[in-house]
């Protein structure tokens, strides 16, 4: 059983309430029907029932079995608007202004999670990453003790041509552009937690760079080495190494030559990239050129699950992310 199959197995039957902010999109509706049939989650679709219901039927579902909420008609609208005005009290907005903000689907979905009317939310099939993440951070908020919200892709290597069968975390692929050493440390720490929730087994962290063990000197390398030192102090029982080039982190034979006695021994399963350029380009090369399955971006560091889709996402992508979101909720 590969990692994705294991996540689906964990999600099945939990029936976590996952609100889909772009509930009128045909891909989202088809994924909701599929997830419902597979018992991966209890999807909640935001939008107009006269648009959504015929599509549910077309995709083989029964509209009577789905919760569809049009924010304009929702009985909880005034409660949400009041909460939003309190939440944004530093901006001194009126309840009327708050009502208009809450009517925006991403904000409404995030408010459902904040108010415990849903367990998690997914958006981004239409909205941009910045819009999706902004709503989650403003309304759902950071987890206790977390200052840096970040994202990762779960990379599945399971094709015959792949050098090994593996599930890797690539972070941060979507949010923090030029992380400081402290931010890199937080990204890595959150990634270890995400690994434990979604993948299981022993986490092995590689703090990536264009340098391996001092082979190059640069301020960007220093940031990675500083982050590595801080992370080892925070997580003394976890196998961590850095700075490492990707081949030293991933290929045991190269690790022996370039980073002898590395605690990760060329078997790292958490790859923490030095900046957003490297991470975003790296995951797309692995996906498009290497044929890896990329699930995400998955957000980490929030108090409750809120995940972002690519605007080019498929029905499979949405369905997989619903399973991930359900598992992130926990027991």
pTM: 0.87
The separation between the first and the last C-alpha atoms of the chain, rounded to the nearest angstrom, is 22
Return the pLDDT at 82: 87
Which residue shows structure tokens 């909701």? Answer: 32
Taking alpha carbons only, the member of 252, 277, 257, 179 closest to residue 215 is 257
Taking alpha carbons only, the member of 21, 14, 29 closest to residue 110 is 21
Q: How many CA atoms lie within 13 A of 160 on its CB side?
A: 0
38: confidence class by pLDDT, cuts 50, 70, 90: very high
Across the range 83-99, mean pLDDT stands at 77
Tens of pLDDT, residue by residue over 188-201, are 999 999 999 999 89
Q: Which CATH number fits domain 3-141+302-329: 3.20.20.220, 3.40.50.10950, 2.60.40.10, 3.30.930.10?
A: 3.40.50.10950
Return the pLDDT at 79: 92
284 neighbors 173 (Cβ within 8 angstroms)? no
Return the pLDDT at 59: 94
Least confident of 155-164, 214-223, 245-254: 214-223
Residue 110's H or E segment, with its range, is helix 105-114
Return the pLDDT at 331: 56
User: Same fold for the domain at 3-141+302-329 and the one at 150-293?
Assistant: yes
CATH number, domain 150-293:
3.40.50.10750
How open is the CA angle 188-193-195, to the nearest 5 degrees?
A: 90
Tens of pLDDT, residue by residue over 283-305, are 999 999 999 988 888 999 999 99
248 neighbors 254 (Cβ within 8 angstroms)? yes
Task: Reply yes or no on whether the pLDDT at 215 is more than 80.
Answer: no
Across the range 99-106, mean pLDDT stands at 92
Task: Reply yes or no on whether the pLDDT at 315 is more than 90.
Answer: yes
Domain ranges of the chain: 3-141+302-329, 150-293
């Amino acid at each position: 059983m590969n990692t994705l199959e294991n996540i689906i197995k964990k999600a099945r039957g939990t029936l976590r309430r996952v609100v889909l902010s772009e509930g009128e999109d045909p891909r989202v509706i088809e994924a909701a029907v599929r997830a419902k049939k597979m018992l991966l989650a209890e999807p909640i679709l935001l939008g107009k029932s006269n648009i959504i219901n015929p599509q549910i039927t077309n995709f083989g579902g029964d509209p009577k079995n789905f919760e569809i909420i049009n924010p304009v008609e929702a009985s909880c609208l005034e409660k949400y608007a009041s909460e939003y005005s309190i939440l944004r009290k530093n901006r001194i907005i009126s309840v009327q202004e708050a009502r208009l903000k809450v009517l925006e689907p991403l904000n409404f979905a995030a408010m459902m999670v904040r108010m415990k009317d849903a367990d998690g939310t997914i958006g981004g099939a239409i909205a941009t990453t910045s819009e999706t993440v902004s709503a989650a951070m403003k309304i759902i908020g950071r987890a206790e003790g977390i200052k840096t919200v970040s994202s990762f892709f779960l990379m599945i290597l399971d094709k015959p041509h792949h050098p090994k069968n593996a599930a890797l975390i690539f972070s941060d692929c979507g949010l923090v552009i030029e992380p400081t050493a402290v931010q890199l440390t937080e990204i890595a720490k959150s990634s270890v937690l995400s690994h434990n929730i979604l993948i299981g087994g022993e986490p092995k962290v590689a703090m990536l760079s264009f340098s391996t063990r001092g082979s190059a000197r640069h301020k960007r390398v220093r940031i990675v080495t500083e982050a590595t030192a801080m992370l080892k102090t925070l997580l003394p029982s976890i196998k961590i190494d850095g700075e490492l080039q990707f081949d030293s982190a991933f290929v045991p034979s190269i690790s022996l030559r370039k980073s002898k006695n590395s605690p990760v021994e060329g078997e790292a399963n958490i790859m923490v990239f030095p900046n957003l350029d490297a991470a975003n380009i790296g995951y797309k090369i692995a996906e498009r050129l290497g044929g890896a399955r990329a699930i995400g971006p998955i957000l980490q560091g929030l108090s409750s699950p809120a995940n972002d889709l690519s605007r080019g996402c498929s029905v499979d992508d949405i369905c997989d992310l619903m399973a991930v979101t359900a598992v992130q909720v926990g027991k």
